[in-house]
Chains A and B, each alone.
Chain A
Amino acid sequence: METLVNLRGVTRSVVLPDDQELHILRGVDFEVHSGDHTAIIGRSGCGKSTLLNLLGLLDVPTSGELDFQGVPVQQLRGNARARLRGSTVGFVFQQFNLLQGRSALDNVITPLLYAKGRDFWRRRELAMDMLDRVGLAGRARTMPNMLSGGEQQRVAIARALVRRPRLILADEPTGALDVETGQAVMALLDTVATETAAALVTITHDANVAALACACYRLDAGVLTGLNAGLNAHETAGVGA
């Protein structure tokens, strides 16, 4: 299986206003292969989102090595990282982050505006296909504020997958949804990721969501440790977002 992302001894720290250094991630070793479905759990403020930002090329490590499809990320300039991110990574956010004032279809089209060639010229057709796959073809012209939470997240999933990314990064994808809707959304995300052979990395504090993953990791005080697959609710007790 192809290694998409490889982190070796990655640290991420920031300097606080009082000149003290805050270490968010400490010596993280982590690999994501194509087709993996991985969950990362941890308490609020433990560095989950920072790790996701590094995986999604939104940020660079303070030290350590991060290779993306075999290319050291530190060697890439901002625009090169942006282009690689656009063509390879799809994001699903907790708050959906749909663009207001644009229909569901326009939201799904948006990532294709940064694509080249056929994907750009066929953007409407591709977006409609993806909305159809998430069961929202009939709601293509509907504005986000007229959609339910579950529907909004399905639009966000369609938008994340429309450029057929190799890596899908989901940050608390069910955090703003009720249990039933959350399960339905995760099932959809899992199915579509499997169909497109994309790797799925989910950050969650929901035991049921984490249990869907093939591999599960716990992030605690910036240190990432592997857990056994098939995590149950008991093991995640006390883990908050």
Chain B
Amino acid sequence: MTGFVSTLVEAWQELRINKVRILLALLGVALSVAALTSVVGVGNLAREGMKAMSERNGGRTATLGLSVNGPTPPDPARLEKAYQGIVSRYGITYSTHVGQAQGGFQFPRGVQQVQVTVVDPGYGVIHRVELRRGSWFAADDAQRLAPAVVVSEAFYNAAGRPDLGRSPTVKITGEQETTAVVIGVVPDNYPESPPMAFMLGAGATLAGIQPTHSDFKVWVQDGQAEALRHAIKADLQTEFPDMYADTYRMDYAANGDPFAVAQLAVGGVAGLVLLLGAVGMLNISMVTVRYRVREIGIRRSFGATSGRIFVGVMMESVVATAVAGMAGVMLAVAVVKHPWIESKIAPALSQYPAFPVEAALLGLGAAVLVGALAGAIPALVAVRVKVIDAIRF
């Protein structure tokens, strides 16, 4: 007990006496840890942002696209029956048609052609649609006499930002002039994006909007994706023997994790940053030990054992870098969680993830590791100091 407390007292005394030197050394470590943690934190944020954007475009992991093609298009009713049979046979919870069409919408400044994506309610889950206002389609929205429409932020602005609580309507022009109800608003895909809208298939039919081509997508578990892909393709091929049936992955992870390379690069940069911090700390520690050779000799003459000298030198380094590590992690959190940084790194996200705990732990762990490494080598040097020579140093 006395030995442990006295080692701590000694380490604290050293930190107190050499506070300027240690503060300078720690500044380097704190900045290294802040850089390391920030790189990992920013990397994580960028990954989440890219993932959200990819999922918005291609669907969640794993999204399968189904198609049947031939010299003539397949009978729509028969194809739909085949799709619904697959959904019920494999117990698929979320599926959607995705078709693209153009529709004329009446805005306060006149009629404008808007790209309409014709979907099923499952699209919202499969493409992780985030709503700025209102709600996404429910299953019974297909029964509405006035079709429901979910619009983009640009559409909403062009429509004069009406209060969604009052079920604002918008007129769809064309051969079958229809009044639609705006039920939700989604963010624009990119800045200055033109107005866009989503409609359910039944609503689009009511408004006379027919998509030129429609995909059918299902969301399945990642682990079962490959087996299901083959099974569904075989089922479709059996149903349409004279045509070419295909099932394919549409999500971003279809060909492995596309972020693996980026993650590896980020890890490499982080490792380099850490190495630089460690070398800086080691350099300062080595210089410090040489500067303290006489002091170490004097302490040995008072009865300090080699173990005590080793632990003392090591402890100074570890305690100091742990404190610096905490400061570095706090700095990194402040940087990465800054709203301006978040909006620049991950513009696709409307809600940002919490600062990754693993990045904070990595930073702290790295600081302690640097402290231990940068402390161990000088501590070994300190232990090897010959007392007689040291006193005369």
A residues near B (Cβ < 8 Å) are 49, 53, 56, 58-59, 78-79, 82-87, 91, 93, 97, 99, 101-102, 106, 110-111, 113-117, 120-121
Contacts and interface: CB of A to CB of B under 8 A. Distances in A.
Interface in B1-32: 2-3, 5-6, 9-10, 13, 17-18
A116 B2 contact: yes
Contact of B303 (A53, A82, A97, A102): A82
Contact of A83 (B294, B301, B305, B388): B305
B301 A56 contact: yes
Given A91-B301, A111-B302, A101 B6 contact: no
Given A56-B301, A113-B6, A97 B294 contact: yes
A79 B307 CA distance: 8
Contacts of B335: none
B299 interface: yes
B308 interface: yes
A217 to B, nearest CB: 21
A183 to B, nearest CB: 25
A97 B306 CA distance: 20
Interface in B293-313: 294-295, 298-308
Contacts of B298: 97, 99
A93 to B, nearest CB: 7
B2 A117 contact: yes
Interface of B: 2-3, 5-6, 9-10, 13, 17-18, 294-295, 298-308, 387-388, 391
**Majority secondary structure, B binding face:** helix
14 contacts: A58-B388, A82-B300, A82-B306, A85-B301, A86-B303, A93-B391, A99-B298, A102-B13, A106-B13, A110-B299, A111-B302, A111-B303, A113-B9, A120-B5
Q: Which 3 A-B pairs have the closest CB atoms?
A: A86-B303, A111-B302, A79-B305
A101 B18 contact: yes
Given A59-B388, A120-B5, 10 more contacts: A53-B388, A79-B305, A93-B391, A97-B298, A99-B295, A101-B18, A113-B10, A114-B6, A117-B2, A120-B2
Contacts of B2: 115-117, 120-121
Given A53-B388, A93-B391, A97-B391, A114 B17 contact: no
B347 to A, nearest CB: 53
A59 B391 CA distance: 13
A44 to B, nearest CB: 13
